[in-house]
Amino acid sequence: MSDQLVLKAMEKEDLEFIHGLMNNPDIMSFWFEEPYQTKVDLEEKYMKNKDNEHIRFFILKKHEEQLGFVALYSIDPVHRKAEFAIIIDPAHQGCGYSGKATELAMDYAFNILNLHKLYLIVDETNEKAIHVYEQAGFKTEAVLKEEYFIKGSYHHAVYMSIFQKDYLKR
């Protein structure tokens, strides 16, 4: 893995890449969502949210290659917290990019936005993601029992977080 990984603000021309990710059933099952996004819908959402101060959308890139999508949702300037989400393109999974992308997102959240807390919700069966988050310093706060219905069964969701003070100590 190269240190050339960067988070770039998502642009309109990235929507084709995002469309492919958001319509992948394997990816979206881990996002607790239906793999159903039209290009028109994605473009409308992009245009509506491109100036929204409570959201940051990034494309993970290595040189000019798109590797994944990283987002900070529900950015709360009063309570100084946000939800973290990530997708690594299946063609690039297993290369260690998710750990580096998580670090880049935490750096942005804590050093640029000056957030106090970053949290995420992950499917309990997504052991690889949980391992990445634990390696990055996230701690489990709660397990939400049978929270989401995915592929015919209910799944537990793990609520994890990391605080700015703990991130800065590392």
Residues annotated as catalytic are 133
The span from the CA of 130 to the CA of 16, in Å, is 28
What is the C-alpha to C-alpha distance for residues 42 and 72, in angstroms, rounded to an integer?
A: 17
For 100-140, give the DSSP string.
HHHHHHHHIIIIIS--SEEEEEEETT-HHHHHHHHHHT-EE
